[in-house]
Amino acid sequence: MAIETGSDRLMSDINVTPFVDVMLALLIVFMIAAPMMVQGVDVSLPQAVAEPLPAETDQLIISVDKEDQVYINEVQVSLDSLREKLINILENRTDRQVYFRADQTISYGMAIRVMSEIKSAGVERLGMVTEPFKDQTPEEGLKTAS
């Protein structure tokens, strides 16, 4: 059989080497960039015995870190402007639900001040974010609390 050198036939083989090269380069970039993409406010949450709530896609979270700095999601705000910023945000939302995350080392008075500002902004439901106990199941925690 003779091989034709000047034929009009198309080559049906796909060269995957450039594709593999690009995928390996992207893998390396994402492996390096992933640890740098940590988001959120560093808060040491208190532990509690409770069932987890179903997660929603668009949550409004108010956080207070150990330096008493207040955040709306990841944006830092002053305690004095928290109420008016929440009023502006809640005008465009159908649900008036807010989650409150606070470091376990903040004072009780600070937590109450922030919750008061949240409620005075017209929030209908205020949820508290906690971590589960590491060495207890929820049933054991309820038995010891009785």
Tens digits of per-residue pLDDT, 17-49?
888 999 999 999 888 887 766 555 666 666 666
CA atoms within 13 A on the CB side of 70: 20
Tell me which of 108 and 6 has the higher pLDDT: 108
In this predicted structure, which of 28-32, 36-40, 52-56, 142-146 has the lowest mean pLDDT? 142-146
Tell me which of 63 and 15 has the higher pLDDT: 63
The CATH architecture to which 47-145 belongs is: 2-Layer Sandwich (3.30)
Backbone angles phi, psi at 53, to 5 degrees: -85, 155
pTM higher than 0.85? no
**Identity of residue 94:** T
Strands (E), 8-144: 47-48, 61-64, 70-72, 75-77, 97-102, 125-128, 131-132
Q: What pLDDT, in 10s, does the model give residues 78-92?
A: 989 999 999 888 888
What b-and-e string marks burial along 13-49, b requiring 16 or more CB atoms within 10 Å of the CB?
Answer: eeeeeeeeeeeeeeeeeeeeeeeeeeeebebeeeeeb
93: left (phi over 0), alpha (psi -120 to 50) or beta: beta
